Amino acid sequence: MSAEDNTIKFPVPSWVRERNRLGPRVAPDELTSRMLVFHQPFRTGIKGAEEAVYVDVMSDDDPDNGKASRKLCGMLLSVKDLRRIVALLDSELASDNH
């Protein structure tokens, strides 16, 4: 009896498979085939935007047929602004739960 005979395989939902395919620095759009790809953050030396990250807006037109993702545009965002926005979203979600 091999080790594979004792392995119980669980079905993996398609959304988990897709997230695994895209990687940990990708935020996919829940409605379209677009996504945000976050690059490594870095220090800018610019006052008020000391830490920044490049973000690519991508279109994953037809991954099932092997078509590569296409970059629509790129942005340079302040990490401080991103943290502020996420904190605001968390606060709004917490107030909706009461």
Q: Name the residue ranges covered by the structural domains of the chain.
A: 3-96
Q: Average pLDDT of 79-84?
A: 94
The pTM of this model reads 0.71
Q: Please, what is the average pLDDT of the chain?
A: 83
pLDDT at 33: 82
- Least confident stretch, 8-12, 77-81, 83-87: 8-12
Q: How far is the CA of 52 from the CAs of 25, 36, 42, in angstroms?
A: 15, 15, 6
Tell me the per-residue pLDDT of 22-68, one tens digit each, with 9 for 90 and over.
788 999 888 888 899 999 999 998 787 789 999 999 997 666 666 77
